[in-house]
Amino acid sequence: MGEWRLDLQFFAGEKTEKATPRKRQEVRDKGQVAKSADLVAAAVLLGALLALFLAGGYERDGLLRLFARALTDYATTPLTIDSLHLLFLDWLRHGALLLAPIFAAAVFAAWLANFLQVGALFTVEPLKMDWNRLNPVQGVKRLVSLRAVVEMVKSVLKAGVIGAVVFAVLLAEKSKLLALVAQPVAGALAEIGSLTVKMGLYAAVALLFLSLFDYLYQRFEFEKNIRMSKQDIKDEYKKTEGDPLIKSRIKQKQREMAMRRMMQEVPKADVVITNPTHYAVALRYEDGKMEAPVVVAKGADYMALKIKEVAKAHGVVTVENRPLAQALYRQTEVGDMIPEAFFQAVAEILAYVYRLKRM
């Protein structure tokens, strides 16, 4: 049997990973969120019908007053350009007052449905022109895609649910419908209006229930569309954190520069205290300018060897003191003054160095 060799890099472009928080924020800034338009439509329909149901008396009285004025005041008004203009403005004002509760309820329901789905979001990205939408090839692909099939099934399902709800309400109110012929016109109209609102409310509730499943489907589609490949995640990490190779090189350069600066300070030191092989600490003290000796360089192993070589080349005295060298190396950093606990020991060493220099 032959062996099959698989190149794992072949699968690096497969979008199998969940989107990172940064990717989610990027698509959110572009207005791409998991949102069901059906849920918004159902909420708007339900809000408008609830407003109509609760404000039915106000709407009825307002319409009756409007028709009464049309048959009394408007009928006796001479028709001129000015009177027609005033008549139009008066009808427009009354119409706006009648529609205001329904319109306000619909707007609030739309805002609430959107806010519950996507939270607070303001972006103009979806309003920008996308020429790909005018591409006929892309249009044909959308028509024959799985999403188009799902949308068609949803439409058929919604039509079937609305038809079933309306039929069920009419069947339940059959006796009232048959009794309409014996009622006066006002009573019949009131009954028909009440029945219409009831059918609308039941249909809106049914659509709202169906739209919850559509929202779950939209979330599934959204999560699938924003998936990332392993390579995408690596590229994002490089953009966010920087290329690890470049970062390591930068750190190496920084260490080299720090070492060069430190080595430049060794010739200025008064003494180098050693372990003698593992540690080396270079100290400098200027009487009247410094409160205490300052560590100008320190190192262990290879670095300690380099410090001793530079010190020897420039005539800096090297003194072996194992415990002091170890303590200074561990408890101080380059540029620090030595701790007070070491003043006595360092002072004795500096006095020894100064005596050597005077000899």
> Residue 324 burial by CB count (10 A; 0-12/13-18/19+): exposed, middle or buried?
buried
**Rounded to a whole number, what is the distance in angstroms from the first to the last CA of the chain?**
88
Whether the CB-CB separation of 38 and 96 falls below 8 Å is answered with: no
Cα 348 to Cα 321: distance, rounded to the nearest angstrom: 12
User: What pLDDT sits at residue 318?
Assistant: 86
Place of tokens 């607070």: 120
User: What pLDDT sits at residue 130?
Assistant: 62
pLDDT tens digit sequence for 242-266? 566 667 777 777 777 777 787 888 8
User: What pLDDT sits at residue 107?
Assistant: 92
Q: Considering only CA atoms, which of 139, 130, 110, 104 is closest in space to residue 38?
A: 110
User: What pLDDT sits at residue 126?
Assistant: 60
Where along the chain do its domains lie?
16-123+134-237, 264-358
Amino acid at 195: L
Of residues 127 and 306, more confidence is placed in 306
Share of the chain above pLDDT 90, in %: 1
User: What pLDDT sits at residue 165?
Assistant: 86
Of residues 134 and 46, more confidence is placed in 46
pTM of structure: 0.53
What contacts 81, CB < 8 A, 6 or more positions away?
A: none
Q: Considering only CA atoms, which of 276, 278, 284, 265 is closest in space to residue 318?
A: 276
Q: Is the pLDDT of residue 105 over 80?
A: yes
Whether the CB-CB separation of 123 and 30 falls below 8 Å is answered with: yes
CATH class for the region spanning 264-358: alpha beta
User: What pLDDT sits at residue 91?
Assistant: 81
- How far lies 222's CA from each of 26, 91, 225, in Å? 14, 47, 5
Cα 271 to Cα 263: distance, rounded to the nearest angstrom: 14
Q: Is the pLDDT of residue 70 over 60?
A: yes
User: What pLDDT sits at residue 240?
Assistant: 66
Cα-based angle 151, 153, 154 (whole degrees, multiple of 5) = 60
pLDDT tens digit sequence for 197-206? 888 888 888 8
Place of tokens 């290879």: 302
Whether the CB-CB separation of 295 and 334 falls below 8 Å is answered with: yes
What size, in residues, is the chain? 359
Q: Is the pLDDT of residue 34 over 90?
A: no
Question: Can you give the chain as a three-state secondary structure string?
Answer: CCCCCCCHHHHCCCEEECCCHHHHHHHHHCCCCCCCHHHHHHHHHHHHHHHHHHCHHHHHHHHHHHHHHHHCCHHHCCCCHHHHHHHHHHHHHHHHHHHHHHHHHHHHHHHHHHHHHHCCCCCCHHHCCCHHHHCHHHHHHHHCCHHHHHHHHHHHHHHHHHHHHHHHHHHHCHHHHHHHHHCCHHHHHHHHHHHHHHHHHHHHHHHHHHHHHHHHHHHHHHHHHCCEEHHHHHHHHHHHHCCHHHHHHHHHHHHHHHHHHHHHHHHHCCEEEECCCCEEEEEECCCCCCCCCEEEEEEECHHHHHHHHHHHHCCCEEEECHHHHHHHHHHCCCCCECCHHHHHHHHHHHHHHHHHHHC
Q: Is the pLDDT of residue 9 over 60?
A: no
User: What pLDDT sits at residue 125?
Assistant: 64
User: What pLDDT sits at residue 233?
Assistant: 78
pLDDT tens digit sequence for 73-92? 776 777 778 777 877 888 88
User: What pLDDT sits at residue 6?
Assistant: 46
User: What pLDDT sits at residue 271?
Assistant: 87
